[in-house]
Chains A and B, each alone.
Chain A
Amino acid sequence: MDGGSAPVGLIQRSGERSFAEEVKKLQLGAGEEFHGEAILAVTKALLQAGVAYVGGYPGAPMSHLIDVLADASEEILEPLGIQFEQSASEAGAAALLSASIHYPLRGAVTWKSVVGTNVASDAIANLASTGVTGGALMIIGEDYGEGSSIMQERTHSFAMKSSLPLIDPRYEMTKLVAMTEQAFEMSEVSNLPVFLTLRIRACHMTGSFIAKDNKTPQYNLNNPVPEPRYDVSKIVLPPASYEHEADKFAKRLPAVRRFIREHGINEVFAGDGGRYGIITQGGTHGMVARALRQLGAADGFGNSDVPMLVLNVIHPLVPEEIQEFMADKDSVLVIEEGSPNLIESQIAQIAHANRIDCLVHGKDLLPMAGEYVTDVVRGGLAAYLADAAPGQMRAAAAANVKSIDNARDQARACLADAMPEPLPPRPPSFCTGCPERPVFAALKLLVRERGPMHVSMDIGCNLFGALAPFHVGNTVLGYGLSLASGGAVGPVLGQPTIAVMGDGGYWHNGLTTGAINAQWNRYDTVLIILDNGYASATGQHRVPSSGVTPKGVQSGISIESSLRGLGVTWIERVDSYDLPETIAALRKALDARGQGLRVILSNNECMLAQQRRKRSQKAEALKAGATVAEEKFGVDAEVCTGDHSCMRLSGCPSLSLRPSPDPLKETPIAHVEDTCVACGHCGEVTHAARLCPSFYRAEGMVNPGPLRAFASCINRGLLAMLGAS
Chain B
Amino acid sequence: MSGDRPLGVMIGALGGQGGGVLADWLTEAARIAGYPAQATSTPGVAQRTGATSYYFELFADKNPPAAPLFSLFPAADDVDLMAALEPTEAGRALDRGYVTRRTTVITATERIYSTAEKVAAGDGTIPTAPVLEALENASGKLLALPMRTLSDGAANQANAILLGAIAGSGILPIGADDFRAAISNKGVAVAQNLAGFEIGIGASGSESEPKTAQTFNPAPDGFADQLAAYAEPLRLLIGHCLARLVDYQNADYARLFLARLAPVRDLDSDAGGALTSETASRLAAWMSFEDVIRVAQLKTRPGRITRIRGELGIDAAVPLKLNDFFKPGHGEITGFLPPWLARMVPGGKQKLAGEGISISWPTGSAPGFAALKFLAALKFLRPGGSQYAEEQAAIEQWLGAVTQAAGKDYSLALQTARLAIWARGYGDVRSGGFTVLAELFADWDRRLEAGLAELKASVDQSLLLAHANPDAPPPR
Q: Which residues of A contact B (CB under 8 A)?
A: 35, 60, 146-147, 149, 171-172, 199-202, 204-207, 286-287, 289-291, 293-294, 296, 298-303, 373-375, 378, 403-405, 407-408, 410-412, 414-415, 417-419, 421-432, 444-446, 448-449, 461, 464, 467-469, 471, 536-540, 579-580, 583-584, 608, 630, 632, 634, 636, 638-639, 641-645, 647-648, 651, 653, 655-668, 674, 682-683, 686-693, 695-702, 704, 708-709, 711-712, 715-716, 718-719, 722-725
Binds A, one of B222-230, B421-429, B441-449: B421-429
Interface 1/0 per residue, B321-337 and A, CB below 8 Å: 11111110100000000
Q: How far is the CB of B297 from chain A (nearest CB, A)?
A: 9
Q: Which of B47, B282, B290 contacts A464 (CB 8 A)?
A: B47
Which residue of the partner chain, among A418, A426, A663, A724, contacts B369 with CB atoms under 8 Å? A724
Point out the residue from B38, B116, B131, B282 that lies within 8 Å of A205, measured CB to CB.
Answer: B38
Which of B15, B95, B308, B426 contacts A690, CB < 8 Å? B426
Would A668 and B425 count as touching, CB distance under 8 A? no
State whether the Cβ of B244 lies closer than 8 Å to any Cβ in chain A: yes
B184 interface hit (Cβ, 8 Å): no
**Complex interface: chain B residues within 8 A of A432 (CB):** 48
Instruction: Give the shortest distance, in Å, between A537 (CB) and chain B (any CB).
Output: 5
> What residues of B have a CB within 8 angstroms of the CB of A287 in the complex?
71-73
A645 and B425 contact, Cβ closer than 8 Å, known pairs A204-B41, A428-B44, A693-B326: yes
**Can you spell out 29 A-B residue pairs with CB atoms less than 8 angstroms apart?**
A205-B72, A287-B71, A287-B72, A290-B69, A373-B75, A378-B75, A408-B97, A412-B94, A412-B138, A415-B95, A418-B137, A423-B95, A423-B126, A424-B114, A426-B88, A445-B354, A461-B45, A468-B115, A630-B313, A638-B298, A657-B125, A664-B281, A664-B282, A683-B360, A686-B325, A697-B325, A715-B364, A719-B369, A722-B300
- Asked if B311 CB lies within 8 Å of chain A CBs, one says yes
**Are the CB atoms of B75 and A374 closer together than 8 Å?**
yes
CB distance from B115 to the nearest CB of A (A): 5
Footprint of A on B, CB under 8 Å? 1, 4-6, 14-16, 27, 31, 37-53, 55, 59, 64-78, 88-89, 91-92, 94-95, 97, 99-102, 112-123, 125-126, 130-131, 133-135, 137-139, 155, 212, 214-216, 237, 240-241, 244, 281-282, 284-285, 290, 295, 298-306, 308-309, 311-314, 316-327, 329, 351-356, 358, 360, 363-366, 369-370, 373, 421, 424-429, 467, 469-471, 473
CB distance from A184 to the nearest CB of B (A): 26
Min distance, Cβ B312 to any Cβ of chain A, angstroms: 5
A690 touches B45 (CB 8 A): no
Complexed CA–CA distance, A725 and B310 (Å): 12
CB contacts (< 8 Å) of A659 on chain B: these are 212, 214
Collect the chain B residues with CB atoms within 8 Å of residue A444's CB. 471
Nearest A residue (CB) for B14 = A426
7 further A-B contacts with Cβ under 8 Å, apart from A149-B44, A540-B46, are: A204-B42, A426-B50, A445-B354, A661-B212, A697-B323, A700-B309, A701-B319
Residue of B with least CB distance to A712? B319
Contact A424–B298 (Cβ < 8 Å): no
Query: Least Cβ distance of A505 to chain B in Å?
Result: 14
Are B118's CB and A687's CB within 8 A?
no
Chain A contacts of B134 at CB under 8 A?
414-415, 417-419
Residue in contact with A584 in the complex, picked from B46, B299, B354, CB distance below 8 Å: B354
A204-B41, A287-B71, A632-B311 known; A301+B138 contact, CB < 8 A:
no
The chain A residue with its CB closest to the CB of B70 is A286
A638 to B429: give the CA distance in the assembly, Å: 18
Closest 10 interchain pairs by CB?
Answer: A428-B50, A147-B42, A300-B4, A712-B319, A718-B366, A580-B354, A302-B69, A418-B134, A700-B314, A408-B97
**B17 CB → nearest A CB, Å:** 10
Contact B69 A723 (CB under 8 A): no
- In the complex, what residues of A have CB within 8 A of residue B364's CB? 698, 715
**Given A287-B73, A408-B76, A428-B49, is A300 in contact with B5 using a C-beta cutoff of 8 Å?**
yes
Chain A nearest CB: distance from B144 CB in Å?
14
**Cα-based distance from A467 to B115 in the complex (angstroms):** 10
> A696 contacts B46, CB within 8 Å?
no
With a CB–CB cut-off of 8 A, which chain B residues contact A429? Answer: 47-50, 115
Q: Which residue of B lies closest to A447 (CB)?
A: B471
Asked whether B118 lies within 8 Å of A711 as measured between CB atoms, the reply is no
Say whether A35 contacts B421, CB under 8 Å. no
Q: How far is the CA of A564 from the CA of B255 in the complex (A)?
A: 70
Q: When chains A and B are docked, how far (Å) is the Cα of A643 from the Cα of B467?
A: 8
Partner among A301, A467, A665, A696 whose Cβ is within 8 Å of the Cβ of B69 = A301
- Which residues on A sit within 8 Å (CB–CB) of B324? 693, 695-696
Interface centre among B71, B102, B118 (most CB of A within 10 A): B118
CB proximity of A557 to chain B, nearest CB, Å: 23
B429 touches A693 (CB 8 A): no
Task: For the complex, give the distance between the alpha carbons of A584 and B91 in Å.
Answer: 44
B285 touches which of A422, A664, A697, A702 (Cβ 8 Å): A664
Residues A709 and B4 in contact in the complex (CB < 8 Å), given A415-B138, A686-B327: no
Report how far A419 CA is from B119 CA in the complex, Å: 20
Contact B302 A724 (CB under 8 A): yes
The CB with the most chain B CB atoms within 10 A, among A200, A426, A644, A719, is that of A426
